[in-house]
């Protein structure tokens, strides 16, 4: 009698091998749960001769016991394989047979007949290893951060660390540093964007270290924490290791500058690029000394963005708030340079791997490579931050392989100890609206130390302390004034310290009284004074335009009624708030000059200069002409450099004469008629005084006579 199997079965189930059975089930050809339904065999079926129905018996009842047991063993093994495979993979059932069959054929053995060799992985383990899909999210397990990363990353990549993938239209250096956390545009694309750069690593044999060596990640501990803490990141946070390479900050800045200089030389666009902050307005490259002075000193002091990188202590404190301290290995670049094998050992122990190869520092900077002025400018800026770093590492020990105590960075200059108060040795005393801002900006940009604006003070106090001309501030005394210049010593800018308050011209006695105090030491003997004189009526016109501009700004902000107490109140008619003409303003100035009001005495130059010379050595007072500053700024620059005994970089710019369209640019003849009689005799007296009282040798002599720009003589 023919045996009939389950209708869904096309072959004899019992004679199939375990492998074939699993293959058919997993491929979907025998998707019906045949193993759960007894296979029935007809014992003759309906006998047409006797008309009796014979019972349909289970297959098991017709099979000899040994065969049945063998079949059951095969079935159980098959189910075991299925359960094992399904427990370790998310792969669909339709994908498994093909993968498993290929593996079995490649091994050329029957998985049922062969017993596992205990010295090898079991077939089950090999199936799991080959079939189990890689995680969909793959993140670096090592972040290499800060200075000297190229030295360490080159060694790690050569030792087998997996590079991030560079996608189409991305620069080649993304193969070492993804620049994900430090670029808003890339970071905003999220975890998957970052993870895709490392998906290929999981397909590579032996890729146990997935490395991102982006130095500027130092600035973004919160972003790293936020990415690695996401559910999709799995256990990435727990396995993450952070390596910080800290280089003496001045060396670090020079190394960064050299990279910028190299890229600048290779670029066709000299003004746009990551190196643009090291480029002059004319497109030429700054020297490192110029870069230190004009860029680094200002930005490091203000702790702005990228320029904060060398302030290591501040950053590590933030990292330690978000990550386990044992996840952070802090290395000193000096050790990589001087004892690379020791540094290599620390990294290998930290990562738990013997990586081989040799770590060596190739970017070595000697002290003599750094300009002395750059050292003097930069080292003091990092001194306090370095102490914060040493204290943090001492009080918060890291992994056992970390250097302890952390070696202090090489200090090239000793901190200057000073006793007494710090007072400016240069005063730019005036006159207001005579080009003092242009001169002050040029000097400050060349390393002359400016006053510090304290919290709550207006920003322009970092140019002019407004101490001698402000009763409220002056009454607070010498210490109040000196405190604005304490930072100059800390920053190594003690050679030239300047206050550029133009209205100081009216207060020689106050200056003398402060500098003569015992607490001032010998400051008065070192003090140098610079004054710029502008034709008085022209100066009044400039002042008038400035006041009108400020009034219109206030009016636009709906502060029109807020005039009393402002410095521009004298350009506005009290009755209706309309602006006076310049001639009307001159009438007002003439009236107050005649009664001796202090605010309107600035242009009475000769009276002021006589008072200064009475109290101070004439050779310490340099008198400059605004007309020369306007028409020949390089000559004025030369005079100032000779007077101060220092050669400065860059050119002293011409003063701004354009301004807004609403400015009164020429002096009406009617205004000259009002003020010329007031100033004529004073100007003549000034010329005579300067000729009879010669100043320092670089001063213009004879002093040029003023020229009035009027609408009648243009």
Residue ranges at the known binding site for 3'-phosphoadenylyl sulfate: 534, 542
Q: Whose CA is closest to 252, among 363, 153, 144, 360?
A: 363
For the chain, the straight-line distance linking the first and the last C-alpha, in angstroms and rounded, comes to 130
Q: Which two tokens mark 396?
A: 């918060």
Residues 6 or more apart whose Cβ sits within 8 Å of residue 164: 140, 174, 175, 176, 177, 178, 197, 198, 211, 212
Give me the DSSP letters along 243-293.
Answer: EEEE--HHHHHHHHHHHHHHHHHH-S-SSSSTTGGGB-TTSPBPPHHHHII
Q: Which backbone phi and psi does 68 adopt, to 5 degrees?
A: -60, -45
Give the pairing of strands 241-246 and 426-430: unpaired
Taking 3-state DSSP, the helix, strand and coil percentages for the chain, each rounded to the nearest 5, stand at 50, 10, 40
Q: Whose CA is closest to 251, among 409, 446, 413, 415?
A: 409
* CB atoms near residue 522 (< 10 Å): 9
How many whole angstroms separate alpha carbon 214 and alpha carbon 219? 11
How many whole angstroms separate alpha carbon 662 and alpha carbon 83? 86
Q: Which backbone phi and psi does 273 adopt, to 5 degrees?
A: 155, 175
Give me the DSSP letters along 386-417.
Answer: HHHHHHHHHHS---TTS-SSPPPPP-SSPPPP
Give me the DSSP letters along 9-26.
Answer: --S-GGGS-HHHHHHHHH
Residues 6 or more apart whose Cβ sits within 8 Å of residue 485: 422, 423, 424, 449, 451, 452, 497
The answer to whether the CB of 243 falls within 8 A of the CB of 140 is no
Which residues are catalytically annotated?
A: 433
Classify residue 531 as left (phi > 0), alpha (psi -120 to 50) or beta. beta
How many whole angstroms separate alpha carbon 275 and alpha carbon 277? 6
The answer to whether the CB of 303 falls within 8 A of the CB of 216 is no
Rg (CA), the chain: 42
How many whole angstroms separate alpha carbon 89 and alpha carbon 616? 90
């Amino acid at each position: 009698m023919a045996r009939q199997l389950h209708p869904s079965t096309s072959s004899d189930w019992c004679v199939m091998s375990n492998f074939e059975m699993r293959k058919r089930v997993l491929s979907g050809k025998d998707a019906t749960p045949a193993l759960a339904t007894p296979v029935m065999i007809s014992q003759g079926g309906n006998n047409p001769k006797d008309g009796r129905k014979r019972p349909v018996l289970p297959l098991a009842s017709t099979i000899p016991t040994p065969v049945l047991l063998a079949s059951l063993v095969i079935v159980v093994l098959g189910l075991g394989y299925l359960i094992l495979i399904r427990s370790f993979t998310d792969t669909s059932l339709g994908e498994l047979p093909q993968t498993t069959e290929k593996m079995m054929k490649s091994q050329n053995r029957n998985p049922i007949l062969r017993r596992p060799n205990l010295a090898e992985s079991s077939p089950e383990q090999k199936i799991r290893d080959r079939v189990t899909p890689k995680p969909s999210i793959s993140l670096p397990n090592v972040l290499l951060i800060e200075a000297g990363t190229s030295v360490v990353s080159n060694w790690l990549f050569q030792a087998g660390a997996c590079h991030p993938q560079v996608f189409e239209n991305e620069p080649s250096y993304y193969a070492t540093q993804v620049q994900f956390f430090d670029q808003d545009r890339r970071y905003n694309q999220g975890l998957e964007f970052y993870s895709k750069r490392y998906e290929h690593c999981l397909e590579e044999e032996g890729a146990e270290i997935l490395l991102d060596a982006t130095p500027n990640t130092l600035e973004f501990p919160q972003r790293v924490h936020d990415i690695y803490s996401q559910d999709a990141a799995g256990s990435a946070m727990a396995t993450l290791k952070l390596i910080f390479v800290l280089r003496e900050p001045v060396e670090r800045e020079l190394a960064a500058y050299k990279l910028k200089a190299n890229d600048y030389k290779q670029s066709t666009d000299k003004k746009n690029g990551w190196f643009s902050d090291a480029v002059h307005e004319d497109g030429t490259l700054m020297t490192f000394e110029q870069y230190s002075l004009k860029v680094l000193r200002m930005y490091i002091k203000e702790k702005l963005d990228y320029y904060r990188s060398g302030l290591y202590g501040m950053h590590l404190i933030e990292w330690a708030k978000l990550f386990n301290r044992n996840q952070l290995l802090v290395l000193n670049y000096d050790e990589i340079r001087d004892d690379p094998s020791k540094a290599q050992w620390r990294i290998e122990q930290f990562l738990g791997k013997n990586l081989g190869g040799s770590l060596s520092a190739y970017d070595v900077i000697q002290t003599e490579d750094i300009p002395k002025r750059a050292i003097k400018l930069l080292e003091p800026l990092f001194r306090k931050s370095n102490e914060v770093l040493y204290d943090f590492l001492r009080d918060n020990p890291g992994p056992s392989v970390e250097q302890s105590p952390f070696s202090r960075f090489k200090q090239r200059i000793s901190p200057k100890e000073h006793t007494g108060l710090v007072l400016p040795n240069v005063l730019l005393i005036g006159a207001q609206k005579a080009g003092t801002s242009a001169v002050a900006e040029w000097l400050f940009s060349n390393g002359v130390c400016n006053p510090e604006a304290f919290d709550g003070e207006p920003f322009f106090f970092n140019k002019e302390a407004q101490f001698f001309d402000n009763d409220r501030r002056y009454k607070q005394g010498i210490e109040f004034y000196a405190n604005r210049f304490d930072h100059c010593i800390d920053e190594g800018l003690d050679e030239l310290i300047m206050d550029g308050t133009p209205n100081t011209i009216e207060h020689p006695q106050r200056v003398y009284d402060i500098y003569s105090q015992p607490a001032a030491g010998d400051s008065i003997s070192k003090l140098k004074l610079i004054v710029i004189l502008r034709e008085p009526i022209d100066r009044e016109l400039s002042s008038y335009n400035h006041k009108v501009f400020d009034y219109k700004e206030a009016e636009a902000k709906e502060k029109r009624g807020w005039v009393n107490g402002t410095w521009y109140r004298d350009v506005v008619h009290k009755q209706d708030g309309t602006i006076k003409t310049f001639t009307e303003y001159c009438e007002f100035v003439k009236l107050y000059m005649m009664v001796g009001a202090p605010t309107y005495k600035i242009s009475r130059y000769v009276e002021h200069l006589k008072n200064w010379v009475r109290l101070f050595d004439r050779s310490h007072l340099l008198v400059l002409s605004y007309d020369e500053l306007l028409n020949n700024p390089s000559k004025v620059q030369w005079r100032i450099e000779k007077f101060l005994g220092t050669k400065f970089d860059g050119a002293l710019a011409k003063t701004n004469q354009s301004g807004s369209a609403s400015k009164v640019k020429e002096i009406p003849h009617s205004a000259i008629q009002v003020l010329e009689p007031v100033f004529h005799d004073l100007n003549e007296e000034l010329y005579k005084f300067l000729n009879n009282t010669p100043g320092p040798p670089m001063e213009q002599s004879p002093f040029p006579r003023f020229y009035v720009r009027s609408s009648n003589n243009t």
